[in-house]
Structure 1
Amino acid sequence: MRAAVIDLGTNTFHLIIADLSGEEKKILYKTTVPVLLGQGRINENMIIPEAFERGINTLRNFKSIIDAHHTTLIKATATSAVRSAVNGQDFVDSAREVGIHIDIITGEEEAAYIFKGVRATGIIQQTSLVMDIGGGSTEFILCNKEGQIWKKSYNIGAARLMQAYFHSDPISQDEQQSIVDLLDNTLLELKTVCATHQPEMLIGSAGAFESFAAMLNNGEEVTDIAAIPLDINRYKALATRLIASTHEERTHMKGLISLRVDMIVIASILTNYILEEIKLNALSLSTYDLKMGVLYSL
């Protein structure tokens, strides 16, 4: 069976086309488009007209690519930006007109797909905390080799926090503290469950963690690798540099794509918080995330 998976994220839309045969997954085509569906008014639960149009145009292009590959199944999932938007259903209806039927998934379903993707890499060999920093939401999955222990989605994505708190250049101490205060109040359940199960490693699911990996690798993208350990001390030094840097300085940093020039600051603050509060001493990247989890679930 030839299948297409579309992941409609808050920042990016992803398309994967693959031939599926049992456990074998042969990727024929993949692309990522920075749609920025959450631009401008994500905290007002609104997809602005420009973002709405970019999203539909991207899906129209995806449909042409899918048709050219004679795909028999299309699975499209929408996450936080569409899920929370008052005009999210309007977006789904418009997508149907171009031939894409979208499932708006819950935060719990999103976390479950992320876990399936990460598990497919084989990296989960010990009690671990998986973290996926999206634009609209951030998912956490506590897991071990046997499976999921606990999972939850929180509306603390990088785009949401950036629009709410990131107004100085570089980000001010007060803005950083406001984010930390929010995390203190939001992540009580996460900290409680981690205190009970004591994960040994943080596994970052794609996205910002791919940027961290590229920057730690002298700007070279991590390609054709499902998972890789990251040096936690080098990561911490990088995060310190990112948080202290200006927008202009970040635009010249090797391995940092334009989409994440500002959101990487929020991702660094989030990651630092989790490493410190959960007391984790090991960090790894999984390049498999939600879209691969959807693919492996077909």
Structure 2
Amino acid sequence: MTDVTAPTGEISIKNDMWASLLNTLTIDLFFKETQTVEIAADDDSYGMVGHSDDDAAKVAYLIDDGDTAFTVDELEGMRFTEYTGPFSIEPDQRLVVYARITDHADNVTYISSDGLVLDATLPAVTGVDDGGTYYATRAVDVDDENLATVTLDGAPVTGGFELEGNVDRSYTIVATDRAGNVTEVTVTMKPVEDLAGQIEGLTSDTVGPDDRETVEAVKDAAEENLGDATDEERAELEDLIERCDELLSEIDAAEAAVAAEAKAARLAGTGDTLPVMAVCSHLAIGVLAIVGGELLRRGCRF
């Protein structure tokens, strides 16, 4: 009896199954973890007299990273890999799984999955750092190839957005992509006057070298917050930077004075030893003169 019936089969990935060759692909399946691919084959030849396991349908597969569905004619010229059991597909990639099932009479069936995206990359939130403290308005952006939603304190936002500055509050940004990867960023916003308060009480009369680290930290924070600041915030920050520069100049002057005093003390200490050295030198010359005179008196030459 001639076998003219093509075998059948099925591709399974998690809860999705495909049993035919798709004419069009939709990229609508997203996973954030490694997935297992299983391919099953069924052939009605098993019921024929004399059919054995050696005649079982053979299965092979092909992984393609394109977005266009292949036709039977295109697949017939491609290289497939023998299927020996379930195999894994790893993030981060886009792909389609094709299967070729061939029975003992060389009847062939092709089947394919839909487009799959395996994405283990978290959405990237730029403009602020998780746990950061800021004093002026910040521009924030979220980047992800498969971005689904972004919320600011629970309310949906789109595109780039700003966090109002110079206020006392916190913000929470949650970005989720279509594969289920989630990035959550929480930042604290403070008034500029809180930053200025860190050097409150420091004047040209009270500031000293021990205050340098604090003043420099305040200046650095003020400069770092200038980028997206409003005009009003920028004015406050620039005034604070100018004040820090004045305090740092006072610290520089104080340190220079201390260094000058130390140098003067060293020079004074070195000068105290000069008379002693001079006396020793005169004594040595006197001794040589006496010895020389005594030798001449005795008629010795040298």
TM-score, normalising length from structure 1? 0.19
TM-score, normalising length from structure 2? 0.19
Higher relative contact order (CA 8 A, sep 6+): 1
Q: Which has the higher strand share?
A: 2
Q: Which has the higher helix share?
A: 1
